[in-house]
Structure 1
Amino acid sequence: MTLKELVSILRQSGYPVAYSHFDNPQEFPYITYLTALSNNFHADDSVYQKVDTVQIELYTDKKDLQAENTVEQLLNENNLSYEVTENYIDTERMFQRIYETGVI
């Protein structure tokens, strides 16, 4: 799966989607994504396959199980494995749910 394909999948959620951040405030829920780090596959002392770890960040104003289910269903339907962390950003009064997955 490429980053371009992943973005296309995220847009199917119906939520606003942007790389890193939006220039203008958005209504909840919305999604940002960021290539946070690499997890390359190495062979023979070189990078055999480049793999980027992408953080997909779902922002909501309350614990939103429906929005979470929408994102997770899209990831599952497209055979993307992921890990999840969740934070409450007190200064912004919003929840941040981060899905980490890999793309090539």
Structure 2
Amino acid sequence: MKHMIQLLKEIGLPYAYDHFSEGNAPEPPFICYLYPQSDNFSADGVAYLKKNQVSLELYTDQKAVTLEQQVEAILDKNHIFYNKSEVYIDSEKMYEVLYQFTLEVDYEK
């Protein structure tokens, strides 16, 4: 979680886990992220290496190629392999660019 928060701060956009509460969403661009499932490695019946799959959703009110490139540069700089997809949400009049990747779980100490 700590590594994810560092990435989000480096991107520099408003962010929330899963969604902003109703009425509190900032104007685009902003990011929502979530951990839809784990991708753990097991050994001897134990989760030896714990990883979370991450969905990082970039929302913009218009196509923002430069902003996407900035997000991708930060992911690249941190050696994060990602897959990217995009959809236009007509009801919201926004683009959602989805980055999916896996991060090792880093527990706070």
When the two structures are superposed, what TM-score results if normalisation uses the length of structure 2? Answer: 0.86
Q: Which moved more, 1:87-96 or 1:43-52?
A: 43-52
1:2-61 deviation per Cα after TM superposition (whole angstroms, max 9, x unaligned): x21122111112211111111212111111110011111122333221111010000001
Q: Match for residue 45 of structure 1?
A: 45
Question: Which amino acid is the alignment partner of residue 47 of structure 2?
Answer: V
Aligned sequence identity (%): 40
1:4 to 2, 5, 9: 2
Equivalent-residue separation in structure 1 for 2:76 and 2:55 (angstroms): 16
Equivalent pairs, count: 102
User: Which ranges in structure 1 are unaligned for 5 or more consecutive residues?
Assistant: none
Q: How does 1:55-70 map to 2 (within 5 A)?
A: 55-70=55-70
* SS state at 1:86 partner: strand
1:18 aligns with 2:22: no
Unmatched segments (≥5 aa) in structure 2: none
TM-score of the pair, normalised by structure 1: 0.90
Runs of 4 or more off by more than 4 Å in structure 1? none
